[in-house]
Amino acid sequence: SGIVRAVLQLTGICILVWLLLCADLGGNNYSPQLSWLNAPATTDSYALIIDDETAPCGTDANACVHWNLFNIDATVERLVEDVDPATLTDDTGFSDVVEGLTYAGTNDYEGPCPPQGNAHTYYVVLYALSADQPRMTRLDALTRSEFEEAYADNILAQTTITGTFSR
């Protein structure tokens, strides 16, 4: 019999509602609730990147990064809405999770809010990473393409949710 490999899966609870909740439209600008399963057995940590390649943002390395969440321990399998990264601990209670820089130059979550009449597609990507993945810092500001190029050898699996929003 053949080996059956599970595929890393990412689920966003109410992802469409999340897209409607930008602060400029009276929303709360909370990070979305997410959960995942079926990571490779050798996963040591995760990274989460949310970015947008729709103009005025650029593509690839010039995408607008809405959130970088790095050094998530392999024991973590979900994020609550408006998560405090310090609560994402390993089995010993230690947290090395950091939020990298966003397009706004901040170390926090910058919710989606496209300009009037301009549909934007947002990419929510979770990466399962190997034990030799370097620890990321608050100074890291990586788009999906930059992360995938820099850490290709450390990515064990990845999964993506996309959502398009216009107003």
Calculate mean pLDDT across residues 136-144. Answer: 84
C-beta separation of 166 from 117 below 8 A: yes
3 state SS of 9:
strand
Query: What digits encode the pLDDT tens for the residues 38-87?
Result: 999 999 999 999 988 887 888 888 888 999 999 999 999 999 988 999 99
pLDDT at position 1 is 41
State yes or no: pLDDT of 157 exceeds 50.
yes
Q: Cα torsion at 33, 18, 70, 87 (round to 10°)? A: -40
CA distance 51 to 48: 10
pLDDT at position 112 is 80
Residue type at position 122: Y
pTM of the model: 0.87
State yes or no: pLDDT of 13 exceeds 90.
no
Question: Would you list the DSSP string of 38-87?
Answer: ---TT--EEEEEEEE-STTS-SGGGSEEEEEEEEEETT--EE-TT--GGG
What is the token pair recorded at 37? 């399963």
C-beta separation of 98 from 136 below 8 A: yes
Query: What digits encode the pLDDT tens for the residues 78-113?
Result: 999 889 999 999 999 999 999 999 988 989 988 887
Q: Which residues pair with 165 in a beta bridge?
A: 120
Kind and range of the H or E element at 123? strand 120-129
- Average pLDDT taken over every residue of the chain: 83
Kind and range of the H or E element at 145? helix 144-150
C-beta separation of 59 from 35 below 8 A: no
pLDDT at position 22 is 57
The CA-atom distances, in angstroms, between 67 and each of 40, 42, 58 are 24, 25, 16
Calculate mean pLDDT across residues 15-22. Answer: 52
